Amino acid sequence: MRLIGKVWKEHKGFVAFLLLMTVFRSAIADWNVVPSGSMLPTIQVGDRILVDKMAYDIRFPLTHLSLVRLHNPQRGDIVTIQSAAAHELLVKRVIGLPDDTVAMRDNVLFINGSRVSYREIQLDEHANDATSRGEYYTEVISGAAHTIRLSPDAPSPRDSFGPLVVPPGKYLMLGDNRDNSADSRYFGFFPREEIMGKAERVAYSLNPAHYFFPRYDRFGRPLDAPQG
């Protein structure tokens, strides 16, 4: 106890800063490293994404306990999920809300019976961490556009499913890199309480393929900014 008291007296400012930063990151906002390419081209390997922990809930610090529910995720949101099924933190896009009927046919989505809009675009593969040939499309869900990636040389065996009705209190999530994403097609519907926050922009980015050199053009970039 005497040692603890001495440490607190000599370093209380630093200790208080660490405690406040821990509370801030657990309950208000955080930045998460993205280790995989499941959200290409929206999120690149090596991006550190800013996550708004208060977008949907006010949580008790250092826990996943929701004290106040503020909002529910909307179609098109990019969210972080503390997934019990995957045993890790995931970053995916919300596709199906509770009670939605969702189907996919050859990577084309149908939500509540309506076909989602697609338009093919051209992107530089070298600028998007791609290790195989890709095809890129603008996908419009609920009026909001984002970019998805398909891999014609390595198509997913799960490019078609449904129609499925999303159960109450759960969400259907997909990665933007549709042929290379472990998402609801593998883990099922994600419970509302596993959604930790909303990701909207890149904090900073380090390129693991080039000695972790900073990608300055991605610093502060909105995640659904036009690609190219």
- 156 carries an active-site annotation: no
Q: Which of 38, 151, 181, 184 is the catalytic position?
A: 38
Bridge partners of 35, per DSSP, are none
Q: How many CA atoms lie within 13 A of 145 on its CB side?
A: 11
- 92 carries an active-site annotation: yes
Q: Which of 92, 151, 170, 181 is the catalytic position?
A: 92
Task: Name the token pair of 12.
Answer: 């209380």
Q: Is residue 198 a contact partner of residue 55, using CB atoms and an 8 Å limit?
A: yes
- β-pairing verdict for 117-121 and 101-105: unpaired
Other C-beta atoms lying within 10 Å of the C-beta of residue 171: 26
Q: What angle do CA 146, 147, 151 make, to 5 degrees?
A: 150
- The residues that are catalytic are 38, 92
